[in-house]
Structure 1
Amino acid sequence: MNGKLVAGGLVLTAALAGAAVWWLQLHAFYDPVAFQPGEEIRLTPILGEVPEVIIADEVTGIDAASSPLRFRACFTTPLSQAMLTETYRVYPDPTPLNAPPWFDCFDARRIDQALRTGEAIAFLSERDIAPGVDRVVAVFSDGRAYAWHQLHPEDQ
């Protein structure tokens, strides 16, 4: 009888620990990002190093202090891909990272597929937003746009 209690206690403890880890990874550390009007999204120009603010509407985002790679944002822009590619740096090897399932505007798999097919174009938003981490923005032809943080391509 004691063996059943010990085994049951171990299973219960493991289940509680698993639930806690799941909750901590998906919910605990994320906070909404408070974008300042007029400074929501920046892109780095082809000629120059200082990122410039672009027109961004309906900006929503999340971030976490526990890791610089947890930033995600969704927004729209009236700027065309043609204008953006003539003005701002295209980002080499963009790799959108998965967002928590409850942040449903950001679908990393769909964004990655669009980047591979040319439906979306990725731009350097800000280099070294955190040490070794860049902010990347992907813009679709219809104006939908997404931002995330990723490691420098040469650091991967």
Structure 2
Amino acid sequence: MEETVSCPPEAFLALVMDPRRYAEVDRKLGRVDWVHRDGEVAEFRFRSVLPGLGPGPKIVSRMTLTPGERVDVRLPDRPENRLVRRFSTFEASFACVPVSGGVRVTRRIAFGFPAPLRWLAEPILRRKLPADVEAEIRGAKRLLER
């Protein structure tokens, strides 16, 4: 998903690096229990809600900021993520490129599932996830442009 937002890259990336505030526009983020930030790395615990699949267990996500350019999101090797990491893979990113009048944001999310779950989860996410991501990025755009 790509969208142009009328703000500098730093403003968009600062929104992403604030999980509690970003949860206002991202329905995939359930209630955020805690956030720990150390410079350009933030970890936070939340209950994910995948479109069409419903709520999952509480997990910890790690975001790494490349200032002015991008945020990469992964599930770190932590006890809270043991179950999810056993049955899926997850990677996401927000890349920002300055353009006339703002920034072009490219949002990427990738899930992987082992064969027993793939037949169920992947078709649902292929149908439901694009609209959810579009609503997320448009919500971030509205939030930052008001």
TM-score (norm 1): 0.27
Higher strand share: 2
Using CA pairs below 8 Å that are at least 6 residues apart, which structure has the higher relative contact order? 2
